[in-house]
């Protein structure tokens, strides 16, 4: 490594483009030991990162009840079927991964004894194999030992197409092997620069082999423990009412000393974001509230109640609008929005371009989100090095009219444009939430001026984000023309985030609408860029591939980004929470405590 390259890496740490851990990993790769890498940063004036946990508990339990509000209540407690954040978080109370992500994007061991590195032999030189060493003192909540057999089983379970796991994308292209009872090797088909996906974070929570083995494959939805989790986490299952309440009690045999602090946890669902914010900030009835998609002006007023504080955590989440590329109104082979069909309006690039020009992102930020949502033209916004410089947004009703007129969409006597007997009438859906309804109204008003008639549809959040696939209003079905929601980026790397547009992730009846490509747009160029990025070890080239993917989605108007959303939470003034913008809110639940 040249001196210039080294200085460039140090400057990248200073700017936040890469983490300290990534810097140290790069140094290890060229033969520079971790302590020396740390000294290089110290000499450059870059302070040592704070530890992932500042937990001050001196004994297990005694903290009383922890009461948290998830206004979108969990609907199931099997992490492999969790299509929404609420279900991932409900599962994380009980289930744990091998490692999780802290707020700086560092990989922190949970069920693993250590983080794999080249120095400890965990990362192979060719980048095709990762070896995980497991903790030896871990028990499932029913007293059975946690071993490598459980880890390998989770790979088999999720990778089996018949299981219809939403996590299949993280497991189908790897092979997990038990080296011994407490060692697992994960082999990749090719060199994998981002190997920390299987068994890590929200997609890595592990379920016990002895309770789920009989339900692998086609019987997966019949497992009794889908609703009665038996995990390794800090709390044992007490009770669960889907959409309403999850209760857990302290795990007396938890594998981390002096943890957890709280004796019980209650995760309450239902209501709305404003009432959740009020219950923490103003009344103090609850300790913590998740996902406060609330107008910033309201949050500021509630904070004056003096019981709590608003916590804003940087991350990669994005509020955006999706266009349906298939026909949601007619069935093909018994399936609405079939990949065999084409959308009657949005397959015309002019219609998508016009809609892009009719969305006033500046107003959405200024009058709704404020500090809690930054207007953006990109799908990927963080970490900063992956943010494309090639896109900008524009709100221009006149230009939208021109685009439609040129494409042959003419206004009729009712003011609605028409072409080939098809009227520009669309249904635009989202979940019930005041900021979203206000954003819908902004879009509808502008579209009307361009001759597009938009019917607004709202769906109760517990239905919209549920895993009840008998319901036509679940967002992964997209049984309408366009919809809006936030997609979360649960890793400080875009690889899994960007699989939402690959052809093999199309949401369909065949995969029980668990596929992540909800728009059903496909592109050979995008697929190739994604496959190339999966195996590209040069970080500069890999970054360029993700920027290319972002640009393909944006410039083809597959979606319209609205605002980049940091995670906004409310917390009791005395509650101490190790937050992360890259993982579940409960990623370090064992370290939550309350000051005296």
Residues 37 and 110 in one domain: no
Q: Going by DSSP bridges, is the β-strand pair 425-431/453-459 parallel, antiparallel, or unpaired?
A: parallel
Residues 12 and 116 in one domain: no
Residues 439 and 550 in one domain: yes
Report the pLDDT value the prediction gives residue 132, as an integer from 0 to 100. Answer: 98
- SS3 assignment, position 153: helix
Q: Does any domain span residue 187?
A: yes
Residues 446 and 351 in one domain: yes
3-state secondary structure 220-254: HHHCHHHCCCCCCCCEEEEEEECCCEEEEEECCCC
Using alpha carbons, list the distances in angstroms from residue 261 to 35, 257, 286, 390, 550.
33, 10, 17, 48, 42
Q: Which of 222, 254, 272 is the last residue of a domain?
A: 222
Q: Whats the size of the chain, residue-wise?
A: 596
Q: Which of 174, 204, 222 is the last residue of a domain?
A: 222
Residue with more model confidence, 179 or 4: 179
Report the pLDDT value the prediction gives residue 50, as an integer from 0 to 100. Answer: 41
Whether the per-residue pLDDT at 54 is higher than 90: the answer is: no
Q: Does any domain span residue 202?
A: yes
Q: What is the CATH number of the domain that holds 356?
A: 3.10.105.10
pLDDT digits (tens, 9 = 90+) for 149-160: 999 999 999 999
Q: Once rounded to an integer, what is the mean pLDDT over residues 562-590?
A: 95
Report the pLDDT value the prediction gives residue 26, as an integer from 0 to 100. Answer: 67
Cα dihedral sign, 253-237-272-491: positive
Report the pLDDT value the prediction gives residue 47, as an integer from 0 to 100. Answer: 43
C-alpha to C-alpha distance for 96 and 231, rounded to whole angstroms: 7
Residues 391 and 484 in one domain: yes
Query: Which region, left, alpha or beta, applies to residue 95 given φ > 0 means left and ψ of -120 to 50 means alpha?
Result: beta
Whether the per-residue pLDDT at 31 is higher than 60: the answer is: no
Q: Does any domain span residue 137?
A: yes
User: What b/e readout covers 517-547, taking b as 16+ CB neighbours within 10 angstroms?
Assistant: bbbbbbbeebeebbeebbebeeeeebbbbbb
pLDDT band (50, 70, 90) for residue 34: very low
pLDDT digits (tens, 9 = 90+) for 425-470: 999 999 999 999 999 999 999 999 999 999 999 999 888 988 777 8
Report the pLDDT value the prediction gives residue 470, as an integer from 0 to 100. Answer: 85
Residues 400 and 509 in one domain: yes
Q: Does any domain span residue 48?
A: no
Q: What is the CATH number of the domain that holds 178?
A: 3.90.76.10
CB 187 within 8 A of CB 128: yes
Q: What is the largest CA-CA distance in the chain?
A: 75
Residues 461 and 348 in one domain: yes
For the chain, how are helix, strand and coil distributed in percent, rounded to 5? 30, 20, 45
Count of domains for the chain: 3
Q: Does any domain span residue 439?
A: yes
What is the rounded end-to-end Cα distance, in angstroms, of the chain?
51
For the beta carbon of residue 313, count every other beta carbon within 10 angstroms: 16
CB 581 within 8 A of CB 314: yes
* Residues 6+ away with beta carbon under 8 Å from 532: 545
* Residues 6+ away with beta carbon under 8 Å from 287: 66, 67, 68, 280, 571, 572, 575, 594
Encoding tokens for residue 90? 């409900």
pLDDT band (50, 70, 90) for residue 262: very high
Helices (H), ranges, 16-145: 20-29, 34-43, 85-92
Whether the per-residue pLDDT at 88 is higher than 50: the answer is: yes
C-alpha to C-alpha distance for 260 and 578, rounded to whole angstroms: 13
Q: Which of 246, 287, 244, 240 is nearest to 67 (CA)?
A: 287
Residues 519 and 373 in one domain: yes
Cis amide bond preceding 260, omega within 30: yes
Residue with more model confidence, 575 or 539: 575
- SS3 assignment, position 35: helix
| Rg, the chain, Cα only | 24
H or E segment to which residue 303 belongs: helix 296-303
Q: Which of 561, 553, 490, 491 is nearest to 527 (CA)?
A: 553
- SS3 assignment, position 58: coil
Q: What is the DSSP letter of 354?
A: H
Q: Once rounded to an integer, what is the mean pLDDT over residues 254-265?
A: 97
Q: Which of 581, 552, 567 is nearest to 378 (CA)?
A: 552
pLDDT band (50, 70, 90) for residue 6: confident
Residues 424 and 548 in one domain: yes
Q: Does any domain span residue 72?
A: no
The dihedrals phi and psi of 52, each to the nearest 5 degrees, come to -60, -30
pLDDT digits (tens, 9 = 90+) for 345-359: 999 999 999 999 999
Q: Which residues pair with 246 in a beta bridge?
A: 240, 267
Report the pLDDT value the prediction gives residue 84, as an integer from 0 to 100. Answer: 82
Using alpha carbons, list the distances in angstroms from residue 505 to 189, 261, 320, 473, 514.
19, 40, 19, 20, 8
CB 173 within 8 A of CB 189: yes
Whether the per-residue pLDDT at 104 is higher than 90: the answer is: no
Q: Once rounded to an integer, what is the mean pLDDT over residues 264-275?
A: 94
C-alpha to C-alpha distance for 379 and 551, rounded to whole angstroms: 9
Q: Going by DSSP bridges, is the β-strand pair 318-323/482-487 parallel, antiparallel, or unpaired?
A: antiparallel
Residues 345 and 488 in one domain: yes
Q: Which of 188, 222, 256 is the last residue of a domain?
A: 222
pLDDT digits (tens, 9 = 90+) for 198-233: 999 999 999 999 999 999 999 999 999 999 999 999
Q: Which of 20-34, 141-155, 257-271, 544-558 has the lowest mean pLDDT?
A: 20-34
pLDDT digits (tens, 9 = 90+) for 483-504: 999 999 989 999 999 999 999 9
C-alpha to C-alpha distance for 409 and 458, rounded to whole angstroms: 28
pLDDT digits (tens, 9 = 90+) for 405-420: 999 999 999 999 999 9
Q: Which of 406, 403, 382, 379 is nearest to 393 (CA)?
A: 379
Q: Does any domain span residue 134?
A: yes
Report the pLDDT value the prediction gives residue 142, as an integer from 0 to 100. Answer: 98
Encoding tokens for residue 372? 């809690």
Report the pLDDT value the prediction gives residue 15, as an integer from 0 to 100. Answer: 63
Residues 423 and 552 in one domain: yes
Domain that holds residue 173: 104-222
Whether the per-residue pLDDT at 166 is higher than 50: the answer is: yes
Q: CA-based angle 145:209:261, to the nearest 5? A: 50
C-alpha to C-alpha distance for 246 and 281, rounded to whole angstroms: 22
Average model confidence (pLDDT) across the chain? 92
C-alpha to C-alpha distance for 134 and 312, rounded to whole angstroms: 33
Q: Does any domain span residue 266?
A: no
Q: Which of 364, 358, 189, 310 is nearest to 572 (CA)?
A: 310
Helices (H), ranges, 140-288: 148-159, 168-171, 209-212, 273-281
H or E segment to which residue 338 belongs: none
Residues 186 and 327 in one domain: no
Report the pLDDT value the prediction gives residue 489, as an integer from 0 to 100. Answer: 93
Sheet bearing 318-323, strands edge to edge: 374-375, 559-564, 318-323, 482-487, 425-431, 453-459
């Amino acid at each position: 490594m040249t001196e210039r390259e080294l200085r460039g890496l140090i400057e990248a740490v200073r700017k936040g483009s890469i983490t300290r851990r990534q810097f140290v990993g790069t140094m290890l790769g060229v033969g520079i030991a971790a302590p020396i890498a740390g000294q290089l940063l110290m000499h450059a004036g870059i302070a040592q990162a704070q530890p992932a946990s500042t937990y001050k508990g001196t004994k297990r339990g005694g903290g009383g009840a922890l009461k948290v509000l998830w206004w979108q209540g969990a609907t199931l407690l099997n992490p492999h079927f969790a299509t929404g954040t609420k279900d991932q978080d409900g599962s994380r109370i009980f289930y744990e991964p091998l490692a999780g992500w802290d707020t700086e994007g560092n990989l922190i061991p949970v069920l693993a004894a250590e983080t794999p590195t080249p120095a400890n032999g965990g990362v192979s030189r060719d980048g095709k194999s990762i070896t995980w060493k497991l903790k030896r003192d871990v028990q499932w909540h029913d007293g059975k030992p946690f071993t490598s057999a459980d880890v390998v089983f989770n790979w088999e379970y999720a990778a089996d197409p018949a299981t219809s796991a939403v996590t299949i994308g993280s497991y189908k292209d790897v092979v997990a092997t038990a080296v011994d009872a407490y060692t697992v090797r994960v082999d990749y088909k090719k060199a994998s620069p981002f190997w920390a996906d299987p068994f890590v974070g929200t997609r890595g929570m592990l379920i016990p082999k002895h309770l789920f083995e009989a339900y692998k494959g086609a019987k997966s939805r019949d497992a009794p423990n889908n609703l009665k989790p038996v995990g390794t986490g800090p709390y044992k299952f007490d009770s669960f009412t889907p959409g309403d309440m999850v209760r857990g009690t302290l795990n007396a045999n938890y594998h981390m000393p002096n943890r957890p602090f709280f004796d019980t946890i209650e995760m309450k669902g239902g209501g709305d974001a404003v009432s959740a914010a009020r219950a923490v900030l103003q009344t103090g009835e609850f300790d913590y509230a998740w996902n406060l998609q609330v107008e910033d002006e309201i949050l500021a007023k509630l904070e004056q109640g003096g019981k709590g504080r608003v916590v804003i955590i940087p991350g990669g989440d994005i509020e955006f609008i999706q266009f349906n590329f298939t026909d949601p109104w007619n069935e093909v082979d018994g399936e609405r929005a079939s990949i065999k069909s084409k959308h009657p309006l949005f397959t015309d690039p002019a219609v998508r371009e016009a809609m892009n020009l009719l969305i006033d992102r500046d107003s959405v930020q200024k009058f709704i989100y404020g500090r809690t949502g930054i207007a953006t033209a990109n799908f990927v916004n963080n970490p900063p090095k992956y943010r494309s410089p090639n896109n900008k947004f524009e709100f221009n009703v006149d230009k939208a009219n021109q685009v439609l007129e040129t494409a042959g969409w003419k206004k009729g006597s009712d003011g609605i444009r028409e072409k080939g007997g098809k009227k520009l009438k669309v249904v635009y859906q989202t979940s019930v939430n005041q900021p979203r309804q206000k954003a819908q109204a902004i879009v509808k008003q502008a579209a009307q001026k361009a001759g597009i008639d938009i019917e607004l549809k709202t769906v109760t959040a517990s239905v919209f984000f549920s895993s009840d696939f008998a319901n036509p209003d679940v967002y992964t079905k997209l049984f309408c023309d366009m919809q809006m929601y936030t997609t979360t980026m649960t890793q400080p790397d875009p690889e899994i985030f960007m699989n939402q547009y690959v052809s093999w992730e199309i949401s369909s009846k065949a995969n029980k609408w668990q596929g992540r490509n909800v728009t059903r747009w496909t592109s050979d160029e995008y697929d190739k860029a994604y496959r190339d990025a999966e195996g590209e070890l040069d970080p500069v080239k890999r970054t360029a591939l993700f920027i290319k993917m972002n640009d393909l989605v944006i410039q083809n108007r597959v979606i319209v980004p609205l605002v980049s959303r940091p995670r906004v939470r409310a917390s009791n003034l005395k509650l101490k929470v190790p937050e992360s913008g890259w993982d579940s809110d409960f990623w370090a639940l064992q370290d939550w405590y309350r000051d005296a």
